[in-house]
Structure formats: C-alpha cells, structure tokens
C-alpha cells in the first residue's frame, strides 16, 4: 500500500515533487562543486586527499596555495554548502509533505497504518532526490572546473595546478540530497501519521496552530546562539570575524525557520497592513497572507537567507573599502563573492520553488474566484500583491538579520556598527527579490487561468 500511496501522491502533487527534485539537484550541485574544490586545493597528503590536483606540484606552488589559505577557504565553503543544502532541502520537502496532509488523513481514515504513511513519503523522497543527486554530482563537476579556472586567473592557485574530477563527491552528494530529503519527509510525516484519523482530518483542513514542543525551544536557542557567536566574533580580528559571520547568519535563519509564523507572521502582518490600502485585490492578498502564515513562512525563510547573506557579505567588503581604502586581497574578495553568489542563487531557487509549489496548490482557490465572477485582472493583481507582501517581509527580516550579524563585528573593526553600502546594492537586492516573488507567484497563477475555471475546480 505504501508504494501505491507514493505513486498516487507523485501524480496528484507533481509540482511539489518537481520542486523537491530541483532543490535536491541544486543542493547536490553546490556540494559536489565544493567537495571537488576541496580535493583540488588540499596540500595535505596525510588526510586521504592523495590523487587530487595538487599531486606533482612544485614546493613553491604548494607554498603559494598554503599562503593564500585556499584550502581553509575551501573547507569553509564545503561546510557552508552542506549546512545550507540541508536547511533548504528540509524546508522544501517539509512543504511538499504538508501539502499532502488532506490525502494522508483520508487514507488514515479508511484504515492505513502509520508505518504505511511513513513508507509512502519515504518512497516519494527517494524517487524525487536520487536522480537529482546523481545529476547534481555531474553538474557540480562543471561548476568546480569553472571555479578552479577562476582561482588560477585570480592568482589563488598556481597555473600548474590541474583540475581533476573527484568521485569522492558522489557519496557526499547522495548523503546530503537523498538522506536529508528522506529524513525530512519522515520527520514531516511522523507526528501527522500518529494522529487519530478524525484529528488528522481536522488538522488537514485548518492547519496546525502550535509550533510543537521542540521547535520553539530549538528556534530560540538558535537565535540566542547567533547573538552569542556575534558578540564573540566582535572580539576577534577582522579576518576571523568575517569568516565566522556566515555561522551567525545561518543560526539567525535557522531560528527564523524554526520559529516560523511566530516571527514571520507579525512582520507579514505589518507589511500586509500597508499593502491593504491599495484596493480590493490588495486587501484580499492581505487576508490570504494573514490567514496562512505557516504556508507563506516556508517561502519567506529562503528569501531571508538570500537578502541577509547578500547584505552581510557585500557589506563586510564595502565597509572595509570605505574605512581603509581596501576591501582585502583581490583573489580572496573574488572567491568570497563567488561563494556568496552561489549560496544566494541556490537559496533564491529554493524560494522560487516553494512559492511556485504554494501557488500551484492553490489552483482550486484561484479557479473558485473566477467562478464567482472575479476578473482575470483582479486575480493577477491579488497574486502580485501577495508577492509584494512576501518580498517586503523577506527584505525586512533579511535586513534585520544582516544588521544583527554585522553590527558587533563592524563596531569592533571600524568603530561603526552600521555598514557602508552603495545604494546600488540594496536597490539591486530589493528589485531582484521582488522580481523573483512576482515571477514565482504569477506564472503558476497564469497557467491555471488559461484553463476553464470549472474544470480546475472539478479536477482539484
């Protein structure tokens, strides 16, 4: 029965699992590229890295790699990519399972056992993530090759260093993408599968209101940990503090993800209150966001990561250049920006995935609006205003996260807690965030409106 449930869910919720597969694909790509780069830049033959791109290099070339700290930076990039991949994949898979709660509750009501429910979601996770992990492993090789060439052109690696495709990245990709996706699916379904059928049906219809016994304390612990680490970094040299800023940012985002509606809900309420002044479509969008904070928080968290990470990393360098005349070593700055772009792009794709999944799952609601007489322009306007609320909420929380990360570090290093950012940076990030939310929300709604409304209502 578990396999049959999995097949039915994959057919009924195809966009959700396409989204999960895309998240796993990019997670595997980033992890594969980072793992291969670590193998290509390690000069320690005593740690199992023999056979990497540094074999056969001259002593001077090895010394150049060590002096530039390329190996240490590769370790930081690998740890960061694994950590963020797990974070994003768990969020995406959790959303996919949550969208099935109504069907899972119904099969529980007709006699399905909890273990059959868990087996079904595990099969779904494996079906979505395994091909994606294999493809991501291959794509990561191309990204790593480009990365390697850029490091040579920027003087971080000697010209004689050759790139070698690393098969060690394959088990790492499978571990991050497949194992994480499967565990996320099982954890997302565990509590729901154990509910009594009647209670499961009720919760599937109204949604879960509380955060759970562990989620709230863990979220508070993550935020407290971020604050503590930020204070500790403020007492370290600027270079070490810059490297540790990533951990602070991730802890803040993990806290926001765990606390979810408790943090994102009030901010979205504030943004939607401003938006609601712009007509009936804006007011409807405001009501949608306010009544479904848990659903929209799943899309906001990856965007908070994009905004916070971009402002933090760019702000560190622009502030240093403003205060000292130099943003740092040209090669290290380039590598930092490449890593920032890679992480931010990955998180942006995850956010777009989640928004598209949410929009597609609401196709029946959109069709009902058309049935009762709403014009196409009104529905498009409502979707656009929802995207504005999501983007505005993400920008506010992401900016707060970046300032919380940067303030102690910058105050210690340069005497000012506020970063120096050219206007083009926040403007570009805000415009990119808004465009991403508009496209991710608007395209699924437009595809639904191309079909007859009554046929969508019957099929949903």
Contacts of 385 (CB under 8 A, 6+ apart): 275, 278, 281, 282, 284, 285, 286
Q: Ramachandran region of residue 163, left (φ > 0), alpha (ψ -120 to 50) or beta? A: beta
Residue finishing a domain among 149, 180, 208: 208
Residue finishing a domain among 168, 188, 208: 208
Q: Residue 49 pLDDT > 50, yes or no?
A: no
Residue finishing a domain among 187, 208, 229: 208
The two counts, helices (H) then strands (E), for the chain are 19, 0
- Asked whether residue 360 falls in the same domain as residue 459, the answer is yes
Gap between the Cα atoms of 22 and 350, Å rounded: 8
How many domains, the chain?
Answer: 2
Gap between the Cα atoms of 384 and 434, Å rounded: 10
b/e burial code for range 47-58 (CB count within 10 A of at least 16 → b): eebeebbbeebe
For residues 301 and 257, the answer to whether their CB atoms sit within 8 Å is: yes
Q: Residue 53 pLDDT > 60, yes or no?
A: no
- Asked whether residue 442 falls in the same domain as residue 344, the answer is yes
- Asked whether residue 91 falls in the same domain as residue 7, the answer is yes
Predicted pLDDT at 43: 55
Mean pLDDT of 120-132: 86
**Tens digits of residue pLDDT in 176-207:** 888 888 888 887 777 767 767 667 666 665 55
Gap between the Cα atoms of 302 and 347, Å rounded: 5
Predicted pLDDT at 332: 82
Mean pLDDT of 261-270: 76
> Which has more confidence, 420 or 93?
420
Average the pLDDT over each of 25-39, 48-62, 69-83, 379-393 and give the range with the smallest value: 48-62
Q: How far is CA 401 from CA 234, 237, 247, 319, 421, in A?
A: 16, 22, 12, 17, 16
What percent of the chain lies above the pLDDT cut of 90? 7
Average the pLDDT over each of 256-270, 321-335, 427-441 and give the range with the smallest value: 256-270
> Which has more confidence, 430 or 166?
430
Predicted pLDDT at 458: 55
For residues 306 and 344, the answer to whether their CB atoms sit within 8 Å is: yes
Gap between the Cα atoms of 74 and 52, Å rounded: 14
Please, what is the average pLDDT of the chain? Answer: 78
Q: Residue 51 pLDDT > 50, yes or no?
A: no
- Asked whether residue 45 falls in the same domain as residue 109, the answer is yes
Gap between the Cα atoms of 107 and 194, Å rounded: 13
- Asked whether residue 201 falls in the same domain as residue 221, the answer is no
Torsion angle of the four alpha carbons 322, 324, 326, 329, in this order, in degrees rounded to the nearest 10: -130
Predicted pLDDT at 131: 92
Q: Could you tell me which of 264, 300, 317, 305 has the C-alpha nearest to residue 425? A: 317
3-state SS, residue 451:
coil
Neighbours of 252 (CB within 10 A): 28
Q: Residue 260 pLDDT > 50, yes or no?
A: yes
- Asked whether residue 246 falls in the same domain as residue 188, the answer is no
Predicted pLDDT at 47: 40
Q: Is the pTM of this model over 0.85?
A: no
Q: Residue 101 pLDDT > 80, yes or no?
A: no
For residues 296 and 91, the answer to whether their CB atoms sit within 8 Å is: no
- Asked whether residue 227 falls in the same domain as residue 181, the answer is no
Q: Ramachandran region of residue 111, left (φ > 0), alpha (ψ -120 to 50) or beta? A: left
**Tens digits of residue pLDDT in 10-30:** 555 566 677 778 888 888 888
On the 0-12 / 13-18 / 19+ scale of CB atoms within 10 A, 14 is exposed
Full domain range(s) for residue 78:
1-208
- Output DSSP code: residue 47: G
Q: Could you tell me which of 110, 123, 266 has the C-alpha nearest to residue 197? A: 110
What percent of the chain lies above the pLDDT cut of 70? 83
- Asked whether residue 163 falls in the same domain as residue 303, the answer is no
Contacts of 419 (CB under 8 A, 6+ apart): 311, 315, 316, 318, 319, 402, 403, 406, 410
Predicted pLDDT at 45: 45
Average the pLDDT over each of 4-18, 333-347, 351-365 and give the range with the smallest value: 4-18
- Asked whether residue 185 falls in the same domain as residue 250, the answer is no
């Amino acid at each position: 029965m578990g396999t049959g449930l999995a097949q039915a869910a994959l057919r009924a919720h195809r966009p959700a699992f396409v989204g999960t597969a895309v998240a796993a694909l990019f997670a595997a790509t980033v992890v594969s590229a980072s793992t291969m780069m670590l193998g290509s830049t390690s000069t320690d033959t005593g740690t199992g890295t023999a056979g990497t791109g540094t074999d056969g290099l001259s002593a001077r070339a090895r010394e150049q790699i060590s002096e530039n700290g390329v190996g240490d930076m590769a370790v930081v990039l690998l740890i960061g990519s694994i950590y963020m991949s797990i974070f994003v994949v768990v969020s995406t898979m959790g959303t996919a399972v949550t969208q099935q709660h109504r069907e899972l509750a119904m099969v529980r009501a007709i006699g399905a056992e909890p273990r059959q429910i868990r087996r079904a979601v595990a099969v779904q996770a494996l079906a979505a993530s395994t091909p994606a992990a294999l493809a991501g492993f291959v794509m990561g090789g191309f990204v790593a090759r480009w990365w390697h060439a850029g490091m040579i052109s920027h003087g971080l690696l000697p010209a004689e260093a050759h790139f070698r495709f690393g098969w060690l990245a394959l088990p790492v990709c499978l571990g991050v993408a497949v194992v994480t996706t499967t565990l996320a699916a099982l954890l997302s379904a565990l509590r729901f599968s154990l509910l009594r059928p009647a209670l499961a049906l009720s919760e599937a219809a109204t949604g879960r209101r509380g955060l759970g016994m562990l989620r709230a304390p863990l979220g508070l612990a993550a935020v407290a940990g971020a604050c503590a680490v930020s204070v500790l970094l403020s007492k370290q040299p600027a270079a070490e503090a810059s490297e540790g800023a990533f951990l602070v940012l991730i802890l803040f985002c993990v806290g926001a993800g765990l606390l979810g509606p408790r943090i994102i809900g009030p901010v979205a309420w504030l943004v939607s209150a401003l938006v609601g002044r712009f007509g009936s479509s804006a007011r409807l969008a405001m009501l949608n966001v306010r009544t479904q904070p848990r659903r929209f928080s799943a899309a906001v968290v990856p965007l908070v990561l994009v905004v916070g990470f971009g402002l933090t990393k760019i702000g560190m360098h622009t502030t240093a250049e403003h205060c000292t005349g130099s943003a740092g070593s040209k090669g290290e700055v380039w590598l930092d920006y490449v890593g920032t772009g890679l992480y931010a792009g990955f998180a942006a794709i995850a956010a777009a995935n989640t928004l598209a999944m949410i929009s597609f799952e609401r196709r029946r609601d959109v069709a009902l609006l058309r049935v009762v007489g709403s014009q196409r322009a009104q529905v498009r306007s409502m979707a656009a205003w929802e995207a504005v609320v999501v983007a505005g909420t993400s920008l506010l929380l992401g900016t707060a996260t970046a300032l919380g990360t940067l303030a102690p570090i910058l105050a210690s290093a340069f005497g000012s807690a506020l970063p120096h950012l050219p206007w083009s940076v926040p403007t570009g990030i805000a415009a990119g965030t808004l465009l991403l939310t508009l496209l991710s929300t608007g395209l699924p709604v437009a595809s639904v409106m191309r079909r007859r409304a009554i046929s969508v209502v019957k099929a949903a």
